[in-house]
Chains A and B, each alone.
Chain A
Amino acid sequence: AQKVTQAQTEISVVEKEDVTLDCVYETRDTTYYLFWYKQPPSGELVFLIRRNSFDEQNEISGRYSWNFQKSTSSFNFTITASQVVDSAVYFCALYTGGFKTIFGAGTRLFVKA
Chain B
Amino acid sequence: NAGVTQTPKFQVLKTGQSMTLQCAQDMNHEYMSWYRQDPGMGLRLIHYSVGAGITDQGEVPNGYNVSRSTTEDFPLRLLSAAPSQTSVYFCASSRGMSGYTFGSGTRLTVV
A interface residues (Cβ-Cβ under 8 A, vs B) = 4, 6, 9, 33, 35, 37, 43-47, 49-50, 91, 93, 95, 99-106
A50 with B43: in contact, given A44-B105, A99-B48 (CB under 8 Å)? Answer: no
Cβ–Cβ contact A43 & B105, under 8 A: yes
- B74-111 contacts to A, CB under 8 A, are 88, 90, 92, 97-102, 104-105
Cβ–Cβ contact B99 & A35, under 8 A: yes
The A interface, classified by DSSP as helix, strand, loop or mixed, is strand
Cβ–Cβ contact B42 & A103, under 8 A: yes
Q: Mark B45-86, 1 if CB is under 8 A from A, else 0.
A: 100101000001011000000000000000000000000000
**Does B41 make an interface contact (CB < 8 A)?**
yes
A44–B90 Cα gap in the complex (Å)?
A: 9
B interface residues (Cβ-Cβ under 8 A, vs A) = 31, 33, 35, 40-45, 48, 50, 56, 58-59, 88, 90, 92, 97-102, 104-105
Q: Looking across the interface, which residue of chain B has its beta carbon closest to that of A36?
A: B99
Cβ–Cβ contact B100 & A37, under 8 A: yes
A32–B43 Cα gap in the complex (Å)?
A: 19
Q: Would you mind naming 28 contact pairs between A and B with Cβ atoms under 8 Å apart?
A: A4-B42, A6-B42, A33-B97, A35-B99, A37-B102, A43-B104, A43-B105, A44-B102, A44-B104, A44-B105, A45-B100, A45-B102, A46-B102, A47-B100, A47-B102, A49-B99, A91-B42, A91-B43, A95-B97, A99-B31, A99-B56, A100-B45, A100-B48, A102-B45, A103-B44, A104-B42, A105-B42, A106-B42
